Structure 1
């Protein structure tokens, strides 16, 4: 069964969003563009519709569960180890004709990474550097030199972009397997892997202009002034520009929608800003006690099926990718894993994701998110600023100062008091949803999600009226599992949770 765009899964009455949302991929491959100014993404014609379905079996609503804050003992350590680069194969990347393997020479020596001892570098907000011409000139020159390197140089701009394709579009199998792909999204690997990816990209840019203090800016989309597309990436003649963007969004001060999923939010700018800040606030509030909710679930070496349970920060990250990418075709560049890093704004976007992870760690008192060697010892390969192929462990990047960078301190409006209750504007749009509806259990029969007929079900909680100490030790999580969706169709469903009224 295909999920209809904007279908919803609601409670008996209006309520708040589920703490955690799951998203399998950024985009759906082929959508035909249409002329005119209509939103063509919800009903566009699709080419080569695949009969294969994502293997999620029947859609069943699982009962809520209580998740402990410490992992149980494991019999065997299974951290993910670096893939064999010589065995890189065609990726699942039709936007690039499936080719994105690196210019790797098997005779190359793989070394342990020597962490830098340079002065601490400060990443600044993209919207605050637009008037710093000296900095912008350096940034443009560094990217220009990177783009002018030989096509087979590991520092070449497009070779650097291909790194994302290799690890995100299944160009490698895990070490000692021939059928278990490497995937750095949808799990606890997502944030540390991308932190290293940005680090080496940034160090290479600095090396190209002989500037150890150089940093990439962060797209500060978690504050009002940073919620528009950064102006520094607009200039068409600039090496920072990219033609493959959704022009409706990146121009004229359009506010980014952090819940974007290929349908336009009709709300006013002020309402979208409020919704964005509330979404970020809830993301942090609901996940501080349980890192999986923020960062994603564990994935271990040899697991044939990644559960693809990404954390809530990755969900927000996905929305920004989709919002920037083209509205049709393969959704290049930002809307497709294989091409996303070809747009320079990718690195500023991920710099903010990286910053929000650091804020999350600070709010938790810098406690290690997962006291689990399968996470801490997972290892990957990158080319460093000295053209050496180096290996790095996830556990060595938890503190950005070890990588010799930090972030400029800016206001965090979502940490303050925000009215996250429904406003007059949103209430007027949901009046029809407030009528009482009799609700029962889900049952065992598969059901289709349909935007015109939301599913409403009662879910039993594992335990009510828990004491404060119990709430600190275990987090209550509602899981919705086993959703079947056509793999090449855009799909989204929303979840609302509420307390039933009376005996309904």
Structure 2
């Protein structure tokens, strides 16, 4: 294949820069495509045009990007073709300790856990179940929060974007580099060819989400549907595309291979006996958090629920959502904290336990910013209807919420907690 000029928008570096530009909202006329409801449609179009460009340049009209099925038992490691130093898909800026057959960690916090392979697989599968069927029940929970003209960036990402998407990025990047390049920081992620295989699986998640249950549906909001993006196509022509035109992969001429989905039945299970959960709810934390609070150590707070004893119909119509709001940090830090319900850090809660509500994860951006642009303020939304049922707390007046910092300790603050409902 003939090398392209440096200014050709189809060459590898320019394609990597497309992602870099849209992950930082700089210059101001570009749309931020992370931590909001544009995450899935923008990345789908990004993959689509990259695939078309590669097909054109190789002369293969049938060319298709592969997807890295890290959610399958056989795919939970770096694919061998990407780990082969003689392959053009190889990138030396990857974590040397995470080469095959080392298993990917969907809960990665910068250090490797002392799990057996069976334990790691179990945690990964239960995280997938939770992000789909507990934390992803509504369009807002799965796709991300609304981001309209004039809004501040980063209103809040969807469940799968937050975890495992962000964790796989950081897990793949090289921890010996200050910014976890390439995959571990958004400005450089596009320089690693595996970013396209990673995001092809993320794109597959969007398709699966709508396929697995009729309740999972896209937004019908015109602000979302009519939003447009600019891309260069396979002929290097600038074209404008919209969200509404990419809602089905079939419209773009592709579908995903059917593979086994081992996490469909991997519902998390309670770690604590219901009697102990009841005791946790009857006690005040030793130190009730005073918000806003900097996460230098675990913090706990009791939270009153706005509605108790909901019927099955009410639960199906509206998901009870725990919102961690006013999350503030500098965007160039790797941030991770866990949220657990009716348990404390000393209970040893893991992602495989029902008491584990979810995590907030920030993949660093590490780009040049003005000081006022470097600060991020966002939120985390976690569905807790199933969680409360599993731990026997659906009829309780309140919950005990504990936030456990895992990465970026002391570099992130939380403004408050509340419970709301999402349709």
Residue 104 (structure 2) aligns with: 256
Aligned twin of 1:201: 50
- Give the aligned partner of residue 3 of structure 1: none
CA 1:187–1:487: 2 relative to 1, 3 Å: closer
1:317 aligns with 2:165: yes
Residue 441 (structure 1) shift? 8.9
Aligned residue for 1:339, secondary structure, equals helix
Please report the TM-score for the alignment, with normalisation by the length of structure 1.
0.63
- Does residue 1:470 correspond to 2:317, yes or no? no
> Partners in 1 of 2:32 and 2:154 — Cα distance?
11
After TM superposition, give the deviation of residue 435 of structure 1 in Å.
12
Q: Which has the higher strand share?
A: 2
Corresponding residue number in structure 1 for 2:25: 170
Alignment of 1:14-413 (within 5 A): 145=1, 148-174=3-29, 182-249=31-98, 251-287=99-135, 289-303=137-151, 305-315=152-162, 316-327=164-175, 328-365=177-214, 368-413=217-262
Give ranges in structure 2 of 5+ residues lacking alignment.
274-279, 343-392, 401-423
Contact 2:284 2:302 survives alignment (8 Å): no
Give the aligned partner of residue 496 of structure 1: 340
C-alpha separation in 2, matches of 1:492 and 1:503 = 22
- Structure 2 vs 1, CA of residues 281 and 388 (structure 1 numbering), >3 Å: closer, same or farther? same
SS in 1 for 2:263: helix
- Is 1:457–2:306 an aligned residue pair? no
Q: In the aligned structure 1, how far is the partner of 2:203 from the partner of 2:331?
A: 29
Give the total of aligned pairs: 340
Structure number with higher relative contact order (C-alpha < 8 Å, ≥ 6 residues apart): 1
Q: TM-score, normalised by structure 2?
A: 0.75
Q: 1:211 and 1:286, CA in 2 relative to 1: closer, same or farther beyond 3 A?
A: same
Give the whole-Å Cα distance in 1 for the aligned partners of 2:23 and 2:398. Answer: 48
CA contact (8 A) 1:340 1:346 kept: yes
Q: Secondary structure at the match of 2:157?
A: coil
Coordinate RMSD, CA, aligned: 2.7
Q: Distance in 2 between matches of 1:443 and 1:231?
A: 47
The SS at the match of 2:241 is strand
- Greater radius of gyration (CA): 1
Change (3 A) 1:503 1:219: closer
Give the whole-Å Cα distance in 2 for the aligned partners of 1:443 and 1:169: 32
Are residue 448 (structure 1) and residue 297 (structure 2) matched? no
Q: Deviations over 1:165-200 (max 9, x none)?
A: 1111223323xxxxxx62011011000000000000
Kept in 2, the 8 Å contact 1:164–1:341? The answer is: yes
CA contact (8 A) 1:172 1:182 kept: no
Query: Aligned in 2, Cα 1:502/1:154: closer, same or farther, shift over 3 Å?
Result: closer
